[in-house]
Amino acid sequence: MKKIFVPRDFKIPKSLETEKFRLRMLTINDVKLDYDAVMSSIDHLQKTKPFGPNHNWPTKELSYEQDLIDLGWHQKEFQRRTSFAYTMMNLDESECLGCMYIYPSDNPNYDAVIIMWVRKSEIANGLDKILFSSVKKWIHEKWPFKKVAYPGREVSWNEFE
């Protein structure tokens, strides 16, 4: 029997809003702004490897249609409560600033794995640090996880895997 990621009666938080950004469910309707954020940050994402040292996403070959398919997959997983992908938008929703993902952990020492990235143009503004500290607090206060991994941030990918 497959383990349930979050309790059936747990109300999934719809958003996290700060003075700098809004996190909300990533949907197919976000493809235009998401694609711009991803494609404008390829070199940064390839260098920082937010999904792990062996993961090569994104590549220059990522098409708009492939991004749409990815967003549809994330949206469906959110609806099924098997993982949760949030887009990070500026407050007027005119620009995607990055994304944050909550996945079940394959590592038995953790309940959940949280991965996030910020578009290249926002790194100099310190948004990555603000996102990380805001998400850590939000997860601790609003989510049911007892042991959360932030690989590449609080634990190395080698230690995590």
Rounded to whole angstroms, what are the CA distances from 83 to 13, 75, 123, 125, 129?
Answer: 13, 9, 26, 29, 23
Banded model confidence at residue 4, pLDDT cuts 50, 70, 90: confident
Q: How far apart are CA 90 and CA 6, in angstroms?
A: 28
In a domain, 5, yes or no: no
Give the domain extent around 48.
19-160
pLDDT digits (tens, 9 = 90+) for 5-47: 999 999 999 999 999 999 999 999 999 999 999 999 999 999 8
Query: Residue 109 corresponds to which tokens in the numbers above?
Result: 């020492």
Establish if 135 belongs to a structural domain. Answer: yes
The CB-based long-range contact list for 144-148 (8 Å cut-off, 24+ gap) reads: 144/6, 144/7, 144/10, 145/111, 145/112, 146/111, 147/109, 147/110, 147/111, 147/112, 148/110, 148/111, 148/112, 148/113, 148/114
Q: Please compute the mean of the pLDDT values over residues 73-86 and round it to a whole number.
A: 98
Does any domain span residue 14? Answer: no
Q: Residues in the chain, how many?
A: 161
6 in a structural domain? no
Could you tell me the CATH number of the domain that includes residue 133?
A: 3.40.630.30
Residue 156 domain-assigned (yes or no): yes
Q: What is the pTM of this model?
A: 0.95
pLDDT tens sequence across 96-150: 999 999 999 999 999 999 999 999 999 889 999 999 999 999 999 999 999 999 9
pLDDT exceeds 80 at position 1: no
Is residue 28 within 8 A of residue 65, CB to CB? The reply is no
Residue 64 maps to a domain:
yes
More confident residue, 86 or 124: 86
| Tokens standing for residue 44 | 């940064």
Q: What is the mean pLDDT of residues 71-98?
A: 98
Span of 77-81, 135-139, 155-159 with lowest mean pLDDT: 155-159
Contact of 142 with 17, CB cutoff 8 Å: no
**Are residues 26 and 71 in contact, defined by beta-carbon separation less than 8 angstroms?**
yes
Measured CA to CA, the distance from residue 22 to residue 58 in angstroms comes to 23
Structural domains of the chain, count: 1
pLDDT at 2: 62
pLDDT value, residue 43: 92
Q: What pLDDT, on a 0 to 100 scale, did the predictor assign at position 84?
A: 98
User: Is residue 10 assigned to a domain?
Assistant: no
4 in a structural domain: no
